[in-house]
A and B are shown apart, each in its own frame.
Chain A
Amino acid sequence: MLAGMAFYTLAAVAVVAALGVVSSRNPVHSVLFLILTFFTAAGLFVLIGAEFLAMLLVVVYVGAVAVLFLFVVMMLDVDFVELRQGFLNYLPLGALIALVLLGQIGLVASAVLQNQAVQLNPDATAQLAATNAEAVGSVLYTRYVLVFQLSGLVLFVAMIGAIVLTLRSRVGVKKQSVSRQVGRRRQDAVGLKDVRPGQGLG
């Protein structure tokens, strides 16, 4: 009963917030709605017993991705009104795709109702006896070590790629050169002047 109420509340808030993301005029509001959507989705994860995923969702998506979006929206001068110009032109196509997706969700729902979809595989459910974090930790470096390391390489490529495509060596920028700094001698920098009283350096 309580779980049911929590589910419907969270689900309703999630849908309304998701609509807010695409319909609000102010991009900052859109991002805030997005954060709300993530939070409610995290709540839904907790309800189905996936507390680790909920935690990740909050830490990664709310903590990092959404804040990054917010930075981009607030710092870059993107003309969002102009971006929306084509909205009506693409509406029919978008609506068609949305209908197809809706049909597929209906398909899954009907399959689940008819018990066509398979249950979770047994060794995964056995591991769920421990906490989520333990279950993930016990397979991350053993069973899934290959994909874990490969994911590391994917991130590595993303980093190198971002540097290659954006880093420019600009001319005329003053940079610290440690070797020049250390190699500088006293004669290069200090001169001793014998200043007579009352005459200055002239």
Chain B
Amino acid sequence: MTSEDLLFSLSWVQPELLLAGFVLLGTLVGALFGARSTRLLNVVATAALFAAGVMALMHRPEAPQDIFAGAMSIDAFGAFAKAVIAFAAAATLLLGAEHFHRLQDQQFEFPLITVTAVLGMFVMVSANDLIALYVGVELQSLAAYVLAAWRRDDARSSEAGLKYFVLGALSSGLLLFGCSYVYGFSGSVQFDTIAAAAVEPGVGLMFGLVMVLAGLAFKMGAAPFHMWTPDVYEGAPTPVAALFAAAPKVAAVVLMARMLYEPFAGMEHEWRQVIAVLAGASMLVGAFAGLVQTNLKRLMAYSSIANMGFVLMALAAGSPEGAQAALIYIAVYLPATIGVFAVMMALRHQGQAIETIGDLAGIGQRHVGFAALLTILFFSLAGIPPLAGFWGKFEAFRASLGAGLVPLAVVGAIAAVVAAGYYLRVLATVWFSPSAPSDVRPSSGVSAVLAVVGAALCFPLLLVFMAGLEHAADAAVRASF
């Protein structure tokens, strides 16, 4: 690689360079000024994330650009995903800043670790060979393990961190094991060479593919590799759980789409069964196990499992429409999820973010505004028509039916109805439960603002936004595959 190549490559990774530069300089600032610099770093980190998202979106190439000798590939699909990741992470970072400020637990490393996780996600999104893929996944996961255990004096948080770490290491092992098979039977770690070998796949490449998919499904939190999700969401601090439910999901979905549609495009017949099983299992587990939850964070965990199932159902279509539907689904799922977490943090119970569904009893009589916000957010998650969540599900079903996956769509429909049941159960508690004399106090602040923004984004703003989103996703997919 000559110096021109290097400069050309660096010109395409400006968002990543910005984030890496922030992390390194921020560490220096934090080391010099300690906890006093937390507020400054939170603000700068949020600004850096926004800037990185905008830069990725603005500076996207017409045709995919292979950089760093093919280790990364910058394209419109990735740029779109990076913008979504960066904005979601910025929102959850704001939630976290407010949360830890209230708890008087200011640690300047929080924005730094969050931004590092986002950097890992950016690499995952643009990865074009197995080594970059693995390093991106590992950078993101390592930061996530630390964030999960952030409240180290809290036994549940430590447990969440440890559980996530051990199971995450296992899944990384699976992923690497699969990668070594793929390398051995295709002769390269580069996606385009693997794609050439996957046209006539041997049994070794199949094994490698299954192992890689299992590793990625774990990172996505798709059944049957979902068991860490509820415990980690429950134990991790609430804003960290919001982060886990948002940005990493986008990165994992985009990475999964890239793996399926680029290197393994020739093995569509083989992977479709695997993805269909993962999708069906995730939708059913997410829907039925969510029914018995009393903790809101666990409920959101099962909700995320079910939603990953719908995304996988879209991907199982194997057509560009499938990738487009997955991208739209994940983009409309994020505001609703972050909004629910923001409401949980805006309603405070004895100074803590509320956790159980019981805490919401009677909110509808006393804090009508928050009750209305929750209604919009949960209706969107359930996929009730005028709201954005419906269009996400609509696209997913259209993609899978278009590919003739009727049984999977039927399973998806059942799961959607069951899952709507538990969202409505929460809303029944909110509006119709007798108002218990609890001391849930709403707070105005960043979390309340973000809840309103999340709910507003659930309205397909006069369908114009939806059309724009569909157009953007369509163009992104068309330019990339």
Chain A residues within CB distance 8 Å of chain B: 104, 107-108, 111, 116-121, 142-147, 150-151, 153-154, 156-158, 160-161, 163-166
Contact = CB atoms under 8 A, between A and B. Distances in A.
Interface of B: 1, 6, 9, 20, 23, 27, 68-69, 71-72, 107, 109, 112-113, 116, 119, 123, 131-132, 135-136, 138-139, 142-143, 145-146, 149-150, 152, 161, 181, 184-188, 197, 202-204, 207
A121 B183 CA distance: 10
Contacts of A151: 135
Dominant secondary structure at the B interface: helix
> Counting chain B CB atoms within 10 Å of each CB, which of A117, A146, A154, A163 scores highest?
A146
A111 B185 CA distance: 9
B1 A143 contact: yes
A151 B181 CA distance: 22
Contact of A150 (B135, B152, B184, B185): B135
Nearest to B134: A147
A153 B139 contact: yes
Contact of B184 (A117, A145, A157): A117
Nearest to B70: A143
Nearest to B139: A154
Given A146-B68, A151-B135, A161-B113, A121 B188 contact: yes
A120 B202 CA distance: 17
B109 A146 contact: no
Given A116-B204, A118-B197, A147-B135, A157 B187 contact: no
A119 B185 CA distance: 9
A157 B204 contact: no
A117 B204 contact: yes
A118 B184 contact: yes
A132 B136 CA distance: 26
A165 B146 contact: yes
A108 B184 contact: yes
A119 B183 CA distance: 11
A117 B187 CA distance: 8
14 contacts: A107-B203, A107-B207, A116-B204, A121-B188, A145-B1, A146-B9, A146-B68, A150-B123, A156-B116, A158-B142, A161-B113, A161-B143, A164-B109, A164-B150
Contact of A160 (B27, B69, B188, B203): B27
Nearest to B117: A157
A145 B113 CA distance: 23
Given A144-B131, A147-B71, A160-B113, A153 B23 contact: yes
A189 B119 CA distance: 54
Contacts, number: 91
Closest 8 CB pairs of A and B: A118-B187, A161-B146, A146-B68, A142-B1, A150-B135, A143-B69, A164-B109, A146-B71
A119 to B, nearest CB: 7
B143 A157 contact: yes
Contact of A164 (B6, B68, B107): B107
B292 to A, nearest CB: 26
B26 to A, nearest CB: 10
A118 B149 CA distance: 43
Nearest to B203: A107
Contacts of A119: 187
A121 B187 contact: yes
Nearest to B69: A143
A30 B27 CA distance: 39
A35 B445 CA distance: 56
A164 B146 contact: yes
Contact of B145 (A144, A147, A160, A161): A161
A144 B107 contact: no
B261 to A, nearest CB: 22
A107 B206 CA distance: 11
A145 B6 contact: yes
B186 A118 contact: yes
Nearest to A108: B204
A142 B187 CA distance: 21
Contacts of A150: 123, 132, 135-136, 139
A165 B152 contact: yes
A109 to B, nearest CB: 11
Contacts of A157: 113, 116, 139, 142-143, 146
Contacts of A104: 181, 207
A174 B158 CA distance: 29
Contacts of B185: 111, 116-118
A179 to B, nearest CB: 15
Contacts of A160: 27, 109, 112-113, 146
B204 A146 contact: no
> Counting chain B CB atoms within 10 Å of each CB, which of A104, A160, A163 scores highest?
A160
A146 B184 CA distance: 23
Contacts of B146: 157, 160-161, 164-165
Contacts of A108: 181, 184, 204
A128 to B, nearest CB: 15
Given A116-B185, A118-B186, A161-B145, A147 B1 contact: no
A166 B158 CA distance: 11
A11 to B, nearest CB: 19
A161 B116 CA distance: 11
Contacts of A147: 71, 131-132, 135
> Counting chain A CB atoms within 10 Å of each CB, which of B113, B131, B135 scores highest?
B135
